[in-house]
Structure formats: structure tokens, C-alpha cells
């Protein structure tokens, strides 16, 4: 039987999303909010400087420490992303007027922290037989950004379709972090996204557009890229 693990032995490390988290600390009330990590995005500028953003898990907003009904109404989805210095908060309202916000961590929070657990992994090829999930799979997609920047999207593979007879696969997963074209500063340009790919040199993204109202998830982009599929050890 063909071995679809590439290289000899453990080849690299990847984020173990199951063991990773981000958190913020508020001043008033004095409270800490901790989120599991859904995805990571590294932005590399033309000078080689790297900025790593982590996307916290999405929840529906609640009345924190409330005594009555806890879900806020009108309901809205809530998720936050953090780099070492900046944040973005995503809000998807269902009838309300909540909006996204972004800025410097120091202007909004007492502190923000992240703990990314790294795990050893093996790179696997795109053969369908290699994708049966005996262990967690992580994808890492590298693509070109604007102005000489490079983007590295890293995310867990939550769903994959496998046709072993025809040696076909298709990953459909998310949410993950992407950067919208023409958006300027990184925090302002961050977008939640979902991804589909069926080969290792192209990816299709469905971007969250906060200015689009009810058609917020209508923007599709397709990118040439280099995708690694990594099996955690």
C-alpha cells in the first residue's frame, strides 16, 4: 500500500487548534473572556515583517453574568480576532444594528493574550486515500496578497468529502481568517471566511462582508496558492 505521508518522519509543526485559546481582559467589569481558536492568519509584508492574527470561536452574544434571560435580543453572532497589538470584533446581527469594530488592543482592553499549542505533524499529499481522518487534519494555504504582501492561512479541516475510487477529494471548512483586497490596514481588512478546495494549488473563499447587510456572505474569491495538508501526530 502506498504511503501518502511525505518526507521521512515528522516533517513540521502545525497549530493544534483543540489545545489553543485567545482571551481578553476587560477593565469594567473586571472580567476575562476566553475563546477556543478557530483559525490563524499570518500577514507578511514586503519587508518580511510578520503579523499573526488568531480568530476566536464564534458565539451568540449574551448578557454576561445576567440574572434573567441570557441571550441578547435581537440575537447576533459574535467573534473576535487578535494580533499582538490589534483586534477586530465581528458581529452578524439578525434584525439589530450591531456593527463590527477594530482598533488597538490597548484602546479597548486591559490586555489580550493567546496561547497557540503547536503539535508535530506529517505532510500528506492530495491523494483521497490519505485523507481518511485517523488523526486531526490541518490545512495551511499560502497565497499572494496586495502590495507585495503574502498571506498564510492555517485552519483545521472540519469537513472533507472523499471518493477513493476516483481519487477525488473536496475540503469544505471554516470559519477561517482572510484579508479583503483593498482594505488598507490589516485589522480593518480582516474578514471571516469559509473555504473550499479540491486540489492543492487553488482555493475558493466565501468572504464575510459587513457592508453587505443581508447579503453579508455573498462575496466569493478564488486564488492560486500552495496548500499543505498536515496530519497531527
Q: How far apart (Å, rounded) are the C-alpha atoms in residues 86 and 106? A: 8
The confidence score (pLDDT) of residue 105 equals 94
The confidence score (pLDDT) of residue 1 equals 26
157 is written with which cell numbers? 479541516
The confidence score (pLDDT) of residue 186 equals 81
* pTM metric for this prediction: 0.89
Cβ atoms 220, 206 nearer than 8 A: yes
Q: How far apart (Å, rounded) are the C-alpha atoms in residues 203 and 227? A: 8
The confidence score (pLDDT) of residue 95 equals 64
Q: How far apart (Å, rounded) are the C-alpha atoms in residues 143 and 210? A: 23
70 is written with which cell numbers? 441570557
pLDDT profile of the chain (233 residues), mean per 10? 37 90 89 95 89 95 92 90 94 77 92 94 82 84 88 95 90 94 74 96 92 77 95 90
The confidence score (pLDDT) of residue 133 equals 65
Q: How far apart (Å, rounded) are the C-alpha atoms in residues 223 and 85? A: 28
Amino acid at each position: 500500500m502506498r504511503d501518502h505521508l511525505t518526507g521521512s518522519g515528522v516533517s513540521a509543526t502545525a497549530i493544534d487548534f483543540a489545545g489553543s485559546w485567545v482571551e481578553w481582559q476587560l477593565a469594567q467589569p473586571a472580567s476575562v473572556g476566553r475563546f477556543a481558536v478557530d483559525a490563524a492568519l499570518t500577514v507578511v509584508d514586503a519587508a518580511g515583517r510578520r503579523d499573526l492574527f488568531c480568530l476566536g470561536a464564534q458565539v451568540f452574544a449574551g448578557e454576561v453574568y445576567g440574572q434573567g434571560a441570557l441571550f441578547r435580543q435581537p440575537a447576533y453572532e459574535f467573534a473576535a480576532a487578535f494580533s499582538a497589538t490589534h483586534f477586530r470584533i465581528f458581529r452578524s446581527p439578525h434584525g439589530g444594528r450591531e456593527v463590527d469594530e477594530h482598533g488597538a488592543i490597548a484602546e479597548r482592553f486591559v490586555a489580550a493574550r493567546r496561547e497557540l499549542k503547536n503539535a508535530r505533524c506529517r505532510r500528506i499529499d492530495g491523494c483521497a486515500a490519505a485523507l481518511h481522518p485517523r488523526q486531526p487534519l490541518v490545512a495551511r494555504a499560502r497565497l499572494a496578497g496586495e502590495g507585495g504582501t503574502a498571506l498564510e492561512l492555517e485552519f483545521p479541516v472540519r469537513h472533507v468529502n472523499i471518493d477513493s475510487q476516483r481519487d477525488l477529494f473536496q475540503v469544505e471548512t471554516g470559519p477561517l481568517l482572510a484579508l479583503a483586497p483593498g482594505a488598507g490596514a490589516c485589522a480593518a481588512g480582516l474578514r471571516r471566511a469559509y473555504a473550499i478546495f479540491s486540489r492543492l494549488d487553488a482555493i475558493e473563499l466565501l468572504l464575510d462582508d459587513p457592508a453587505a447587510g443581508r447579503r453579508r456572505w455573498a462575496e466569493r474569491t478564488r486564488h492560486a496558492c500552495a496548500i499543505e495538508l498536515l496530519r497531527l501526530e
